[in-house]
Amino acid sequence: MPRFDLPPEQLRTYSPDVTEPADFDEFWQRTLAESRAVATPPVLRRVDSPLRTVEVYDVTFSGYAGDPVHAWLVLPAHIDGPLPGIVEYVGYGGGRGVAHEQLHWASSGYAYLRMDTRGQGSVWGNGGSTADPHGTGSSSPGFMTRGILDPHDYYYRRVFTDGVLAVDALRSLDRVDASRVAVVGSSQGGGISIAVAGLTEGLIAVMPEVPFLCHFERAIGMTDRDPYQEVVRYLSVHRDAVEPVFRTLSYFDGVTFARRATAPALFSVALMDATCPPSTVYAAKNAWAADAEIIEYPFNDHEGGLGVHWAPQAQFLAAHVGEPVSAG
């Protein structure tokens, strides 16, 4: 895929005027308050595993409207804590997978929680196990248009709330230092991490990788790839729904959440990314209300930095969290 977006020097200063609803903060404060009011403490079940350097737990916590959401918790063995924590959100179509897939954060001394994405987990990877029990109106295949005519019904209202309450769940654990929790995710997971950063006080760091769900007004008309194309297909049929669709999406735009972020961020962007165009990533990064850095991968598509990107992430996180606790 050749480069198709703005030149790099223009990307680095790109700061569009993204539509923000007047009641954006009220909408999200009410949404979170309602779900927290019915939340119950997370339930942990120790998993029998051949892994010896980590402990694995199957976690169920309360998400949107008290719905049960599943996650894996992986802790470094033989360390009592309090541990710094990190919550990871998963890319579009994937689920939490199996517990032994992601060991690098726990092996580095962090309490690591990998959140399932409700209703997803059947496109790639090793599956998910969290249902989305809320019905919506007609939609195109995928998740992007579920409930898209009303922000109260929209699918990502539930997912973003799950993401915030995953942080609450991790912070509630005895072996976790609630003051040292970070969030991370790639693609959809990066978009969720941005939303959580805008809705959660006291995070220590945020690491969105090639994030999705940013600057909808540009992305939907710019790329011919899914998932943004799901909205295009929907609007090609529902021709009179343009205004309500973009009104709904304005409550879920990563740029608007970025304006409310209070934790330092390390972004990544791929300059040949036709799934999440570079300008949409820079729109969120340049709107970030706290300190924000970005690493460019000039010749990569949506895969971004993959495993290469973890080393700078680990350095960034250690700088802000402090060195994790070591075994005595």
92 marked ligand binding residue = yes
pLDDT in tens, 111-133: 999 999 999 988 868 888 898 88
Give the single-character DSSP code of 245: H
Helical (H) or strand (E) element with 68 = strand 68-76
**Do you find a cis peptide bond into 41, omega within 30 degrees of 0?**
no
Structure tokens at 153: 């019904």
Structure tokens at 93: 């179509």
Contact (Cβ atoms closer than 8 angstroms) between residue 263 and residue 197? yes
Query: Could you give the CA distance from residue 106 to residue 84 in angstroms, rounded to a whole number?
Result: 10
Contact (Cβ atoms closer than 8 angstroms) between residue 268 and residue 304? yes
Catalytic annotation, pick one of 168, 253, 273, 279? 273
Reply yes or no on whether 273 is catalytic.
Answer: yes
Q: Residue 328: pLDDT above 50? A: no
Q: What number is the average pLDDT over the span 249-261?
A: 98
Residue 93, CA distances (Å) to 86, 123, 138, 257 in order: 21, 5, 19, 23
**Residue 99: per-residue pLDDT:** 86
- Residue 325's pLDDT band (cuts 50, 70, 90): low
**Residue 326: per-residue pLDDT:** 53
Q: Residue 303: pLDDT above 50? A: yes
Catalytic annotation, pick one of 62, 186, 187, 250? 187
pLDDT in tens, 153-212: 999 999 999 999 999 999 999 999 999 999 999 999 999 999 999 999 999 999 999 999
pLDDT in tens, 42-57: 999 999 989 999 999 9
Reply yes or no on whether 215 is catalytic.
Answer: no
Mean of all residue pLDDT scores within the chain: 94
pLDDT in tens, 55-96: 999 999 999 999 999 999 999 998 887 999 999 999 999 999
Q: Packing angle between helix 155-171 and helix 24-37, nearest 10 degrees?
A: 60
Q: Residue 305: pLDDT above 50? A: yes
Strands 111-115 and 68-76: antiparallel
What the chain holds in terms of domains, given with CATH numbers, is 8-134+158-216+255-320 (3.40.50.1820)
Contact (Cβ atoms closer than 8 angstroms) between residue 230 and residue 141? yes
**What 3-state class would DSSP assign to 84?**
strand
**Residue 53: per-residue pLDDT:** 93
Reply yes or no on whether 49 is catalytic.
Answer: no
Catalytic annotation, pick one of 70, 215, 302, 309? 302
